[in-house]
Amino acid sequence: MNFTEELILSCPFPMVNHETMEFRDGLSHEVPAYCKKNFRRKECQEFHLNNTCEKPIECPYGFTALRVQGTFWQVFGMIDTSTKMPKERKNSNRSNVTSNTRITKWAETLKFQTQKIEEKSEQQTGDALYVLHDIRISNGQIKTNAEREIRNRNSGIDFGDAFDRAPSTLKSIYKASELLTGQLDMIDFYYNPSQITRGRKYYTHVYKLFDKIRRISQIKADARNIQLNMIGSSTSEAPLYESIAILPQILIDNAIKYSIPGGEVIISVTEDKRLINVSVSSVGPIIEEDEKELIFSRRVRGRYAEQSGVTGSGIGLWVASKVCKYNNVSLELKIEPREGMVNNTPISLNRFILTITK
Amino acid sequence: MLWWKKPPSIDFDTLEINLDIKELRKRARIIVIDDQEAEKVVDLKREGYTIEQWQSIPSLRQLFDEDFDLIILDIRGVGNEFSKDEGFGVLKYLRESGSNSRIIAFSGSTFDITANEFFSQADDTLGKDASLFEWMRKIDDLLREKHSVKNYRDYIRNYCKSLAISDSDRTKLESLIVEAIEKQDKKASSVVNKIASLISDEEIQKSMAVAAIKAVSLGIEAASK
């Protein structure tokens, strides 16, 4: 977030650097003589720095302290609300008095600036999203050309059979285009979650769906020397929205991405009378107990996933959780810590488990 | 003497035509409405579908009267001469005027929250980069659904409800359809006459009569199998 000079200069409170806590701009306040004299050990400062509450609170010595946390900045403020204040304390704090007019002006400037930044960011996002429309069209052309080439090589039979007989290089172009479609769908679902329930529910063969994405993802697994194996069996179909297709893509993609070098990703699909059970498991950076729920939040990544150096946006699992929610599919994570470290990162067997009602 | 009415020998719900999908692809009429050239039209023709494209809509009434089995409708760049909502305006018109065509919302703007209503009112959706497999699966599914006696019976039933036609008249109409199927009367004259006696609006009469004739014709075909 960039603030204009006007905003910084008008700030009636000290602004400090987020990481170093050094004074950055705004008005620097003198420590009142009363505090200097009575609280030499700077308990007040300690209290201020250790207090993470963003709502104004009263410090133990009668001042009301506030702390506002921004993305790159923090504002500390101290308002003296005590009416029965000793004269000595009142006098010593006089130099720090900020007028209400100045606070109001600053608040208005801040509001205006924030609004401008939000508008600009919304416009930029909108522009970027409209590019997606063109990307979809280009992707459609790639797919159409691949399909035509597949058809040209085998006419007079069903397109499905023609596809099966096509050379692998041609099929891999088609599969890459399908992966891109999935990634574009993920962006749609991220910005417009109501798209998750678009269209109608289809009876979906869950095993075949995961197997299809496994085959498409093989190229990525090979590039990382990861074994991608499918176990179990299931012949049942479940009524699901087509958005469900993004789920294997997110889970398998993540498992390949975070798996230890030379590791194995196991996709298991089994069923009983009522349920289809799917799990995607791999050994990768440990997900700690307190993160088990959090990693399904928007733009949140596990601390060891972050530390492992693997790039990620914290979007995939959030989208996966929404897709599950709208399709009445349960999604849970089971973690089994493993011995050893990879790239200074502790590891665990991470199993994402889906339960789908037939 | 005790008189009772002979129960209808034909049950709409079980009267399925089970047409071979290749035959259905050939027989059904599909239109793609997109201001850009829809490349899949060529590929679908090659797969045996009767499909054409309009880059603009001559008139909304014509679109309605053509009674396509399936309309694949883009949201942007079409129908702007009739509605500021473009494709969505066209879809709303078709829904409000009681069209029996199935409609697929076809768009590359799935990220756009302003288009959500367009997608939700359509029977299904297709993205601009959907695969041929996906196109064929969705089209076949909707054509099977559309090409059933039950669909036309439901269409007539819903139309009667929206026009506040009494239950007894509606039941009579359905009995006449059954009779026409049994008598193999493809013109369904008794049904058409009954519709004319119940409905004064000529356009609505025509839509209902077309649906009734299709129901009878499909029913005769199904009963003979």
Tens-digit pLDDT profile for residues A232-262: 999 999 999 999 999 999 999 999 999 998 9
Chains A & B: contacts with CB separation below 8 Å: 84
Phi/psi for B113 (5° steps) reads -65, -20
Q: Which stretches does DSSP call E strand in A147-274?
A: 202-205, 227-232, 237-240, 264-271
For residue B36, the chain A residues in CB contact (below 8 A) are: 137
Could you report the per-residue pLDDT of A123-145, keeping only the tens digit for each? 888 788 888 889 999 999 999 99
pLDDT at A57 over 90: no
Nearest-CA distance A109 → chain B (Å): 31
Interchain proximity B108–A137, CB inside 8 Å: yes
Tokens for A28, please give them.
Answer: 């620097």
Q: What is the mean pLDDT of chain B?
A: 88
pLDDT at A267 over 90: yes
Environment class of residue A285 by beta-carbon count within 10 Å: exposed (0-12), middle (13-18) or buried (19+)? buried
Q: Rounded to an integer, what distance in angstroms lies between the CA atom of residue A121 and that of residue B125?
A: 29
Q: Nearest by CB to A195, which of B108, B110, B136?
A: B110
- Please give the model's pTM, rounded to 2 decimal places: 0.76
Least confident of A11-15, A48-52, B4-8: B4-8
Q: Nearest by CB to B111, which of A143, A192, A199?
A: A192
CA angle B47/B51/B54 to nearest 5° reads 140
Nearest-CA distance B5 → chain A (Å): 41
Based on the fold, state whether residues B136 and B153 are members of the same structural domain: no
Mean pLDDT of A86-108: 66
CB B109 within 8 A of CB B100: no
In a domain, B4, yes or no: no
pLDDT at A29 over 80: no
In a domain, B15, yes or no: no
Count of the separate structural domains present in chain B: 2
Interchain proximity A140–B128, CB inside 8 Å: yes
Based on the fold, state whether residues B64 and B115 are members of the same structural domain: yes
Least confident of A91-95, A109-113, B49-53: A91-95
Could you report the per-residue pLDDT of B152-190, keeping only the tens digit for each? 888 888 888 888 899 999 999 988 998 998 899 988 999
Tokens for A82, please give them.
Answer: 């005590």
Q: Among B127, B146, B165, which residue terminates a domain?
A: B146
Residue B225's identity, in one-letter code, is K
Q: Among B107, B124, B146, which residue terminates a domain?
A: B146
Phi/psi for B133 (5° steps) reads -60, -45
In a domain, B220, yes or no: yes
In a domain, B71, yes or no: yes
Q: Among B146, B177, B210, which residue terminates a domain?
A: B146
Based on the fold, state whether residues B113 and B178 are members of the same structural domain: no
Give the structural domain span for B158.
149-224
Based on the fold, state whether residues B179 and B209 are members of the same structural domain: yes
Return the C-alpha torsion angle A222, A225, A226, A232, nearest 10. 60
In a domain, B211, yes or no: yes
Based on the fold, state whether residues B121 and B184 are members of the same structural domain: no
In a domain, B7, yes or no: no
Q: What is the pLDDT of residue A5?
A: 47
Looking up residue B29, the CATH number of its domain turns out to be 3.40.50.2300
Q: What is the pLDDT of residue A94?
A: 61
Interchain proximity A191–B46, CB inside 8 Å: no
User: Mean pLDDT: which of A18-27, A59-68, A85-94 is highest?
Assistant: A85-94
Based on the fold, state whether residues B29 and B110 are members of the same structural domain: yes
| B165 CA to centre of own chain | 21
Q: Rounded to an integer, what distance in angstroms lies between the CA atom of residue A84 and that of residue A265?
A: 68
Q: Nearest by CB to B111, which of A132, A159, A177?
A: A132
Could you report the per-residue pLDDT of B109-160, keeping only the tens digit for each? 777 888 888 999 999 999 999 999 999 999 999 999 998 888 888 888 888 8
Higher pLDDT pick, A12 / B200: B200
Based on the fold, state whether residues B53 and B30 are members of the same structural domain: yes
In a domain, B1, yes or no: no
Based on the fold, state whether residues B171 and B114 are members of the same structural domain: no
Q: Nearest by CB to B43, which of A139, A148, A174?
A: A148
Mean pLDDT of A299-304: 89
% of chain B exceeding 70 in pLDDT: 92
User: Mean pLDDT: which of A81-90, A158-167, A306-315 is highest?
Assistant: A158-167
In a domain, B172, yes or no: yes
CB B78 within 8 A of CB B87: yes
Mean pLDDT of A5-9: 49
Residues of B (126-165) whose Cβ lies below 8 Å from A: 127-133, 136-138, 141
Instruction: Report the DSSP beta bridge partners of residue A203.
Output: A239
Q: Rounded to an integer, what distance in angstroms lies between the CA atom of residue A154 and that of residue A147?
A: 11
Query: Could you give the C-alpha distances from A230 to A10, A223, A275, A336, in angstroms and in order?
Result: 62, 18, 18, 20
pLDDT at A81 over 70: no
Q: Rounded to an integer, what distance in angstroms lies between the CA atom of residue A53 and that of residue A67?
A: 7
Q: Nearest by CB to B40, which of A144, A188, A195?
A: A144
Nearest chain A residue to B122 by CA distance is A199
Q: Does A178 touch chain B (CB under 8 A)?
A: yes
Tokens for A149, please give them.
Answer: 């080439």
Q: What is the pLDDT of residue A3?
A: 44
Q: Rounded to an integer, what distance in angstroms lies between the CA atom of residue A44 and that of residue A126?
A: 46
Based on the fold, state whether residues B111 and B167 are members of the same structural domain: no
Q: What is the pLDDT of residue A214?
A: 94
Interchain proximity B133–A159, CB inside 8 Å: yes
Interchain proximity A147–B125, CB inside 8 Å: no
Q: Given pLDDT bands bounded at 50, 70 and 90, which one contains residue B220?
A: confident
Tokens for A34, please give them.
Answer: 């009363």
Mean pLDDT of A269-275: 96
% of chain A exceeding 90 in pLDDT: 52
Based on the fold, state whether residues B140 and B153 are members of the same structural domain: no
Nearest-CA distance A140 → chain B (Å): 4
Based on the fold, state whether residues B93 and B126 are members of the same structural domain: yes
pLDDT at A96 over 80: no
% of chain B exceeding 90 in pLDDT: 56
CB B115 within 8 A of CB B107: yes
Q: What is the pLDDT of residue A1?
A: 37
ipTM of the complex: 0.82
Based on the fold, state whether residues B196 and B93 are members of the same structural domain: no
Q: What is the mean pLDDT of chain A?
A: 82
Q: Does B52 touch chain A (CB under 8 A)?
A: no
Q: Given pLDDT bands bounded at 50, 70 and 90, which one contains residue A15?
A: low
Nearest chain A residue to B114 by CA distance is A192
Tokens for A140, please give them.
Answer: 């459609």
Interchain proximity A192–B132, CB inside 8 Å: no
Mean pLDDT of A198-220: 93
